[in-house]
């Protein structure tokens, strides 16, 4: 008799786990609470699915024990992931910063090909089946759905995801099942999310996209940094560079810290180079500084930066002293902002926190608490940077958990 394996969750790690467990000869069933598989996959990478990153590095992962990510990625990393997707008929294309996407540049392709693989490998798919209880029953594990359907299986792979992005199915159900099994859950908080800046003059920049350097400073140290596009919004900042540092900002704010976000609006110019440029722009003493700056910056950035430098909007080039120019250079190169309270999980790409990974064996993803239980993906207290790192962790943990089922097939 084949080993019976239930996979709870039809997201990235669950789909991967089901494919590998079925390949190992197990009888596999997926239980997905929603009406279709792969909802978060469909919205990942702006609908294009950033499958992985060529520069996968354990240093890009966070949590209570980042070494866990290193052990996982050593067993199933970038090359194995690329080979898997190519083996099921999905060639990958590489874009900037090592990000890899399906050649179709369409996330739905990934979900459709997984659906085909599940069918080909004989995996039973149960949609609209929310699992509410898991408990050991002798040598088996019983799972019970919200509709009071009970199933006894030999192993459960808990791949229910995190509470991030509820519109795509994020919920706390996975944490609740892990708690039932006796696991410790580190309270999650939103990561990779737009940042609230409660400064009204910054809100005047709404709609502007600008190439910036962004860093987070606290207690004299830089805790995170990035460079790229920043999108100024009606409530603060978003865009790739902002999202990159949002985890560090939110973690600090939640813990009662006082981080500062510092934006360099001219990252490709040194302070001295910018000072020389401004000296040239201010050669006409009758020209307003705001007007002169409009050759470098989009409206209304000049006025906002003048305000942040404590300079009058109407100041002329002829009125600028060396000290005033120095303050203006400082504002352009170091726009210092105080973040507000973190935005909600509805906007979060991933959640930081989750099941304590010290209770999970990275070689198999097996629970150290409940025999026969395996935990994968975003449910765990490991989260990666933006750029394919989180999906890579999902593929890796799912593949490891699925492969581990081969050890006890009877």
Q: What is the pTM of this model?
A: 0.92
- Tokens representing 410 are 């009877």
Round to the nearest angstrom and report the end-to-end CA distance of the chain.
6
**What is the C-alpha separation between 403 and 376, in angstroms, rounded?**
13
Question: Could you give the 3-state DSSP secondary structure of residue 148?
Answer: coil
Mean pLDDT in order along the chain per 10 residues (410 residues):
94 98 97 96 94 95 93 97 98 95 97 98 97 94 95 97 92 96 96 94 95 96 95 96 95 95 97 95 95 95 96 94 95 96 93 97 98 97 95 98 79
Structure tokens belonging to residue 184: 């410790």
For helices 322-333 and 301-308, the axis angle rounded to 10 degrees is 110
φ/ψ of residue 145, rounded to 5: -90, 170
C-beta separation of 195 from 240 below 8 A: no
Structure tokens, 151: 């199933």
In the CATH hierarchy, which fold is given to the domain comprising 4-189+349-408? FAD/NAD(P)-binding domain (3.50.50)
- What the block records as the tokens of 260 is 């500062």
Nearest to 157 by CA among 26, 280, 58, 258: 26
**Where are the CATH 3.50.50.60 domain residues in the chain?**
4-189+349-408
Cβ neighbours, 10 Å, residue 256:
6
Instruction: Give the span between the Cα atoms of 213 and 218, in whole angstroms.
Output: 17
**C-alpha neighbours within 13 Å on the C-beta side of residue 405:** 32
């Amino acid at each position: 008799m084949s080993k019976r394996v239930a996979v709870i969750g039809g997201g990235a790690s669950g789909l991967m786990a089901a494919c590998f467990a079925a390949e190992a000869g197990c009888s596999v069933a997926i239980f997905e609470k929603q009406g279709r598989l792969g909802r978060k996959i469909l919205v990942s990478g702006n609908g294009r699915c950033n499958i992985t990153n060529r520069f996968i590095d354990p240093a890009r992962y966070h949590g209570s024990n980042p070494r866990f990510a290193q052990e996982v990625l050593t067993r199933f990393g970038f090359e194995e992931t690329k080979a898997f997707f190519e083996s099921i008929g999905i060639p990958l294309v590489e874009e900037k910063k090592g990000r890899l996407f399906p050649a179709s540049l369409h996330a739905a392709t990934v979900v459709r090909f997984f659906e085909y693989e599940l069918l080909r490998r004989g995996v039973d798919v149960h949609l609209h089946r929310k699992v509410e209880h898991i408990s050991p029953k002798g040598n088996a594990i019983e799972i019970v759905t919200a509709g009071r359907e009970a199933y006894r299986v030999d192993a459960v792979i808990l791949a229910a995801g995190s509470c991030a992005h509820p519109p795509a199915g994020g919920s706390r159900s996975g944490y609740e099942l892990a708690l039932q099994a006796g696991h410790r859950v580190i309270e999650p908080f939103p990561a990779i999310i737009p940042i609230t800046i409660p400064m009204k003059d910054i809100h005047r920049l709404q709609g502007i996209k600008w190439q910036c350097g962004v860093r987070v400073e606290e207690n004299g140290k830089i805790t995170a940094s990035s460079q790229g596009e920043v999108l100024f919004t009606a409530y603060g900042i978003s865009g790739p560079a902002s999202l990159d540092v949002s985890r560090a900002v939110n973690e600090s704010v939640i813990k009662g810290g006082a981080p500062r976000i510092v934006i360099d609006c001219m990252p490709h110019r040194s302070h001295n180079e910018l000072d020389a440029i401004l000296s040239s722009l201010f050669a006409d003493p009758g020209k307003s500084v705001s007007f002169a700056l409009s050759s470098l910056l989009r409206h209304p950035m000049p006025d906002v930066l003048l305000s942040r430098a404590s300079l009058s909007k109407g100041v002329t080039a002829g009125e600028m002293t060396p000290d005033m120019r120095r303050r203006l250079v400082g504002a352009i190169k170091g726009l210092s902002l105080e973040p507000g309270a973190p935005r909600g999980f509805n906007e979060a790409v991933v959640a930081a926190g989750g099941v304590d990974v010290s209770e999970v064996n990275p070689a198999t993803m097996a629970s150290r608490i409940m025999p026969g239980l395996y935990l994968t993906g975003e449910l765990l207290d490991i989260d990666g940077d933006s750029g394919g790192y989180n999906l890579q962790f999902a593929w890796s943990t799912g593949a490891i958990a699925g492969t581990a089922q081969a050890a006890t097939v009877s």
